[in-house]
Amino acid sequence: MALDSFTIETNGGGTLVATFNRPDKMNAMDRAFFHDLIDLMEHCDADPSIDTCILTGSGKAFSAGGDFKTFQELTTISAIRRHLRLVYDAFHSVERAEVTVIAAVNGIAFGGGCELTIASDFAIASTAARFAFKEATVGLMPGYGVIRGPEIIGKRWTRRLAMTGETIDASTAAEIDLVQDVVAPEDLLESAEQLAARIRQNAPWGVRLAKQFINRNQGAPGIAESIEATALLFLTDDHRERVAAFFEGREG
């Protein structure tokens, strides 16, 4: 399987490791990434030899979030809505996948990187990992994060991250249940593989159906409203000025 956004490896034991491969861009998420993530989940579900997908990043980042270049290209409300629907569809593809999805967070997980951590079934963080919703710093909100965050980390921590834009370390992420384990960087992938192996010891259909029932109500309440609210934020002068300031290397 060839995907531009990932390098793919299989271990022959049922696990596929997909590594985000834009280290020079801190693995920022462009439109191709979201399409590829959907295709990746479909591929994993269609291949009977795969029962687990481990998502990780290359370089210093898991993912720094949305690609600002993509933001600049979103100039109309219809284009913004299409992009946001694609983003939600990509994260939902992780939730809906029959295979188990483990986020092995190797470094920075900001914005969409933090949201993808939430979407995954399990998350293991390197001690080097850092997490944040940075959308507020550029006049936006984490549209998926504000829907899913309260279910995973609670309302108070979702508010704190979404409204302050502050960064938390891996140990704090574990305390609020954003991740389940924190390990040394050199042990990250092995720990994810060990978790996959423990799950694999159980009856496969019991595992898959458990995931489907746990996630059965995800994807409906609040999504349409979040898309509309986030789309309007993309059109504000505040957002456009802060993105322009980013590219010009000045304070927004």
Catalytic residue among 135, 151, 175, 241: 135
Structure tokens at 104: 């092995």
CB 200 within 8 A of CB 14: yes
**Among 111, 104, 89, 85, CA closest to 42:** 89
Both tokens assigned to 10: 């299989």
135 is catalytic: yes
Q: Which of 84, 119, 91, 85 is nearest to 105 (CA)?
A: 119
Residue 33 buriedness (CB in 10 A; 0-12 / 13-18 / 19+): buried
Please, which residues bridge with residue 124 across strands? 104, 181
Determine which one of 9, 73, 115, 193 is catalytic.
115
Angstrom distance (rounded) from CA 166 to CA 143: 17
Q: What is the bridge-based pairing of β-strands 6-10 and 15-20?
A: antiparallel
Give the span between the Cα atoms of 18 and 44, in whole angstroms.
11
Distance CA 86, CA 156 (A): 28
Dist. CA 27–CA 16, nearest whole Å: 19
User: What residue ranges in 100-246 does DSSP mark as E strands?
Assistant: 100-105, 108-110, 122-126, 130-132, 168-169, 181-183
166 is catalytic: no
* Residues that are catalytic: 115, 135
